[in-house]
Each structure stands twice: as structure tokens, then as C-alpha cells.
Structure 1
Amino acid sequence: MNRNPKGLSHNSDGKRDWSEGLCGCFGDCGTCCVATFLPCMTYSKNKSRREYLNSHGRPHPEGGDGCGGGCFLYGCLTVFTGLGWLLSVPERNATRERYSIKGSGCGSCLTVMCCLPCALTQESREIELEEQSLQK
């Protein structure tokens, strides 16, 4: 299992940068558009893909669940309180932890709060790199 398919260097703490920059979201316009207009779906899909990788060691057979309970919860929180984006913070932290990516909880919160579509797309692309490496 390769959690660093691009072979990025690690710092002395064993952490590395994201494989794609935050503005690299434009390299995956489809995901970026869905993350912009339906962030609940991208959130749910990323979460299910990462959790499936954690528990099974292989890519989600259906490419993730974009319309499951996570999507519903995220959507309801967004519609009724405007705070659905808060669910993305622990998921971003979990993705950073899985791939030994530099950062902090505060940094994740600021990134998600300031540019949610870019953050969700960046996470999706990181997960996708591992999925692609497992299919080879």
C-alpha cells in the first residue's frame, strides 16, 4: 500500500506536503464543481472512500457513497444552521493523518472555512492517488 505515490519528501517529523496544492483543485474540474455546488456529496464520498481504504485496504468498489448518511447530515446542517462545513474539519484531519501530511487542526479549520471546494477536491485527489496505486 502506497500512501505517498508521488514520492514526496518527508520532514524530520515524518510529515509531507499535500500531493496537490490547494489551488490544484482546478486540475479536477468535475470534483471541484460538485464540491462547489453540492459539498455534501463530495464530503460523503471522500469520507466513505477513506473509511473503506482504512478497513479493507483497497478502493471502494463503487467509488464512494456520495448520497449516504454523511451527505444527509452535512446537507441538513448546512440548510438549517449554515455549519455543515464544520463536519469537513475532522475529515480533513483524518485524511492528513492517513497520509502523514503536514498541518494542524486549526489550519484544517481555516482551509475548510475559507475555501471548502478546494479543500474537498484536494482531499479527493489525495485519496485518488492511493486508490490508483492499489489498482496497479
Structure 2
Amino acid sequence: MADDKRPVNSQPQGTAPMLVGGNRNARNFPIDSDGRRDWSYGLLDCFDRRGLYCWTMGCPCVVYSKNRQRLRSLQNQGRPLVGGGERYDKQCCIYCALSFSGFCWAIKMQSRTRAEVRERYGIREDSNGDYITSWCFAPCALTQERREIELEENSF
């Protein structure tokens, strides 16, 4: 190996900092002593976004699936999912099949999507509330979850 006698003309450069995520409380809701807060939008605020609400009424399986994909991207990659995710995947098909029998709430409970949204954003509620909300108010629950995810995505 030959000795390299050339002078050093530059210093090593640092790398860009890693993205660790967006704002998980974009609307700056007050946080209780237990570190919990309310949902950024109420359950019945689903009617404020009529287009999204109509989408959850007509194709809840697509909204459910995209919510899962977007949440996974934020959790695993620390950034929003480019393009918002695939419309039709395995989870979408399962949700659709179960919705014909009235058991679409079961996949939401099994996958824990609502619970994962609450845990990620420090939202107070419990699994019983998740169950009742997902069973009785499925379109509003999907809309509420989607809007919470969008707040973080928009903060990037």
C-alpha cells in the first residue's frame, strides 16, 4: 500500500438529522396530569368533512385499510405514506366481507387500529369505548381516526 501524501482539503461532513415524526398534538389540546388528551375532533365532527364521511359510509373498507397503512408508515418509517396508501389490500377485503355480516367492528377490535391511534396520540378512552364506538358509530369512528392521522401527516 503506497503512502498518499496529498493534503486534506476538506473536513468530513455531518449527516442530516433523522426525522422522528410530526406533531402528535397539532391542535395543542391540553394534556392532563396522566399525559392524556381529548380527540382533536369529536365523534360527531365527522359531518364537518362531508366528502370523507360519505367515503366512509360508501366504502368503509377502503378508509379502514388506508388508515391502517398510513398509521403503520408513521409508526415504522416516521414519515407520511406517499400517495396515502393502496385502496384495496387484504385488510380491505376482510373488512368488506365482514361488513356484509355486520361484524366489521370485529376486525377493528382484532387489529386494534383505534387503540393504536389513541396510544400514538395520547388520547384518553378505553377499549370498551373503542368497542362501542366502532360498533355503533363506525363511519364517524373511521373519520375521527383518519382526521387524527392527517393532523400529524400535515405537520411534516
TM-score (norm 1): 0.93
Higher relative helix content: 1
Q: Which residue of 2 aligns with 1:7?
A: 28
Amino acid at match of 1:131: E
1:125 is aligned to 2:144 = no
Q: Which residue of 1 aligns with 2:113?
A: 91
Deviations 1:78-117 (A, max 9, x none): 23x3212222231111110110000000001001111100
CA distance in 2, matches of 1:97, 1:68: 24
Query: What is the correspondence of 1:76-115 to structure 2 with a 5 Å cutoff?
Result: 76-79=97-100, 81-89=101-109, 90-115=112-137
Amino acid at match of 2:127: G
Identity %, equivalent residues: 44
CA distance in 2, matches of 1:105, 1:120: 16
Unpaired runs of at least 5, structure 2: 1-21
Unpaired runs of at least 5, structure 1: none
Q: Is the 8 A contact 2:105 2:131 kept in 1?
A: no
Q: Which residue of 1 aligns with 2:62?
A: 41
1:63 is aligned to 2:84 = yes
TM-score (norm 2): 0.82
Amino acid at match of 1:10: I
Report the CA distance between 1:64 and its aligned residue.
Answer: 2.2
Q: Is the 8 A contact 2:95 2:104 kept in 1?
A: yes
